[in-house]
């Protein structure tokens, strides 16, 4: 009786893809017959896949990024690999020009037991290196008529190299270095690494750079160090310029605050003198009670008008530069981190100017209101 092991395994662990094949040659044939840019549906699918080989020795196993090749005769190996692959999450690495491409991480061998799968491991390393260089290239053009892809690199010069459906042909050591180069240049914390790789790779016009992946890696590290030194200098200049900008804004706000305070005092003094003049004129009978009342009303209305003037016209220029300082820093100091921008906003000059602006925005209308009440009620 012939058992459908694929269905049995899929029922036991539905979160994985299962393929039961007779032997290693079947996997090798499947790989060699598939273009290197179309391995994604099998080797980088949403479900990690396990190839279970009926004729594979129990001591043999090959583990890749999102797949594994295990012997049917070893239940322990199958269970261990299945448990490890179940912990993986789907990859998000995709190339628009090659929608069926597998990510280098999915194709990279990570563990092998025995020697029966050595040739298969070598083949996967070459395909991993191919996709690594696809990811490192500036642009990728699929040439359907030629059954190849054209990898272009823009750096110190513009170069292009064609890759056939079988991928690149280099030593396994260089393939491993190519994958290491890809990981270094494409990590989550990578900044200018990919640019450094492209600068170096663009120097290889007559021969493809992947045959010298190790040399490219070493040179790219040196170029990256130079780029980072320049970047560090730019960041230091940007930090200094941002601090100067913030302090200038604070000083201008302080000057505006002082000017507003002086004008308020001058207006209040003039108002008090006017009120005093009305009182003296009324006391000496120079004006009538009605005239005195009209003058006090006029002064009160003038002061109420100053409140509106201060709130809508005179006051905003005092506080708005400080309020918009954060947005301005996002524009003029884009090289700084969020914490560095926060540190600039916490400068003593900025905080002191902000406090003065807040006080003056509240105090001036309050003073005008008090003066208006005094002008209205004094007799």
| Mean pLDDT calculated for residue range 214-230 | 83
| Alpha helices in the chain, H assignment, sequence order | 5-12, 24-32, 40-43, 75-86, 104-107, 118-136, 172-186, 193-201, 213-283, 289-309, 316-323, 325-332, 338-345, 348-377
Q: What is the pLDDT of residue 3?
A: 53
253 pairs with which residues across the strands?
none
Is pLDDT at 35 greater than 70 in this prediction?
yes
Asked whether residue 42 is domain-assigned, the answer is yes
Percent of residues, the chain, with pLDDT higher than 90:
30
Place of tokens 């809508």: 312
Asked whether residue 191 is domain-assigned, the answer is no
Tokens coding 91: 């990859």
Mention every residue, 6+ apart, whose C-beta is less than 8 A from residue 91.
44, 66, 103, 105, 106
**Quick one: 372 exposed, middle or buried, by C-beta within 10 A (0-12, 13-18, 19+)?**
buried
pLDDT, tens only, 350-372: 888 888 888 888 888 898 888 88
Q: What is the pLDDT of residue 329?
A: 77
Beta strands 67-71; 61-63: pairing state: antiparallel
Structurally, how many domains does the chain consist of? 2
Tokens coding 307: 């409140």
CB contact at 8 A, 43 and 102: yes
Is pLDDT at 244 greater than 90 in this prediction?
no
| Mean pLDDT calculated for residue range 286-298 | 82
Please report, to the nearest 10 degrees, the dihedral formed by the alpha carbons of residues 193, 198, 201, 203 taken in order: -120
In 3D, which of 92, 94, 75 has the Cα closest to residue 83? Answer: 75
Asked whether residue 136 is domain-assigned, the answer is no
Asked whether residue 166 is domain-assigned, the answer is no
Rg (Cα) of the chain, in Å, rounded?
38
Q: What is the pLDDT of residue 1?
A: 40
pLDDT, tens only, 94-110: 788 888 999 999 999 99
Q: What is the pLDDT of residue 326?
A: 75
Asked whether residue 149 is domain-assigned, the answer is no
For the chain, what is the largest distance between any 2 Cα atoms, rounded to a whole number of angstroms? 129
Q: Give CA–CA dist 28/55, Å, rounded.
A: 14
Last residue of a domain, one of 89, 120, 151: 120
Is pLDDT at 202 greater than 80 in this prediction?
yes
Last residue of a domain, one of 97, 120, 143: 120
Q: What is the pLDDT of residue 236?
A: 67
The total of other beta-carbon atoms located within 10 Å of residue 234's CB is: 11
Which one-letter DSSP state was computed for residue 193? H
pLDDT, tens only, 133-145: 999 999 999 887 7
Q: What are phi and psi of 164, to 5 degrees?
A: -80, 180
pTM to 2 decimals? 0.62
pLDDT, tens only, 134-191: 999 999 998 877 689 999 999 888 999 999 999 999 999 999 999 999 999 987 666 6
Q: Give CA–CA dist 355/337, Å, rounded.
A: 25
Is pLDDT at 47 greater than 90 in this prediction?
no
Where residue 292 falls among pLDDT bands split at 50, 70, 90? confident
Asked whether residue 324 is domain-assigned, the answer is yes
Q: What is the pLDDT of residue 232?
A: 59
Asked whether residue 277 is domain-assigned, the answer is yes
DSSP-derived secondary structure for 300-326: HHHHHHHHHHIIIIISHHHHHHHHTHH
The total of other beta-carbon atoms located within 10 Å of residue 108's CB is: 23
Dihedral sign (CA 133, 134, 139, 143): positive
Is pLDDT at 215 greater than 90 in this prediction?
yes
The total of other beta-carbon atoms located within 10 Å of residue 112's CB is: 17
> What is the span of the domain harbouring residue 313?
242-377
Tokens coding 124: 């996967």
Place of tokens 């663009």: 202
Q: Give CA–CA dist 53/59, Å, rounded.
A: 12
Range in 20-34, 179-193, 199-213 the model is least confident about: 179-193
CB contact at 8 A, 364 and 310: yes
Asked whether residue 56 is domain-assigned, the answer is yes
Q: Give CA–CA dist 127/133, Å, rounded.
A: 10
Q: What is the pLDDT of residue 59?
A: 87
């Amino acid at each position: 009786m012939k058992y459908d092991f694929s269905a049995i395994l899929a029922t036991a662990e539905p979160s994985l893809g299962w393929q039961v094949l007779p032997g290693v040659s079947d996997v090798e044939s499947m790989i060699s017959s598939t273009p290197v840019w179309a391995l994604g549906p099998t080797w980088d699918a949403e479900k990690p896949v396990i190839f279970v080989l009926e004729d594979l020795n129990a001591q043999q196993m090959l583990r890749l990024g999102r797949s594994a090749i295990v012997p049917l005769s070893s239940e322990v190996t199958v269970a261990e690999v299945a448990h490890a692959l179940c912990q993986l999450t789907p990859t998000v690495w995709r190339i628009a020009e090659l929608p069926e491409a597998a990510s280098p991480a999915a194709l990279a061998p990570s563990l092998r037991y025995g020697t029966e799968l050595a040739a298969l491991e070598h083949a996967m390393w070459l395909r991993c290196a191919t996709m690594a260089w696809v990811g490192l290239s500036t642009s990728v053009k699929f040439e359907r008529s030629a059954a190849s892809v054209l990898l272009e690199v823009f750096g110190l010069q513009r170069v292009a190299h064609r890759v056939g459906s079988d991928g690149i042909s280099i030593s396994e050591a260089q393939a491993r270095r190519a994958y290491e180069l890809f990981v270094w240049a494409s990590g989550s914390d990578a900044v200018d690494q990919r640019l450094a790789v492209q600068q170096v790779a663009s120097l290889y016009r007559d021969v493809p750079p992947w045959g010298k992946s190790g040399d490219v890696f070493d040179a790219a590290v040196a170029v990256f160090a130079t780029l980072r030194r320049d970047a560090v200098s730019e960041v230091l200049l940007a930090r200094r310029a941002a601090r100067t900008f913030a302090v200038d804004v604070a000083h201008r706000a302080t000057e505006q605050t002082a000017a507003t305070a002086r004008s308020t005092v001058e207006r209040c003094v003039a108002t008090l003198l006017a009120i005093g003049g009305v009182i003296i004129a009324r006391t000496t009978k120079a004006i009538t009670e009605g005239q005195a009342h009209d003058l006090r009303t006029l002064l009160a209305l003038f002061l109420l008008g100053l409140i509106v003037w201060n709130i809508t016209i005179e006051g905003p220029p005092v506080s708005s530069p400080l309020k918009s300082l954060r947005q301005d820093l996002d524009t003029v100091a884009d090289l700084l981190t969020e914490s560095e921008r926060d540190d600039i906003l916490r400068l003593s000059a900025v905080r002191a100017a902000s406090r003065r602006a807040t006080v003056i925005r509240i105090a001036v209308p309050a003073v005008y209101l008090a003066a208006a009440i005094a002008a209205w009620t004094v007799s």
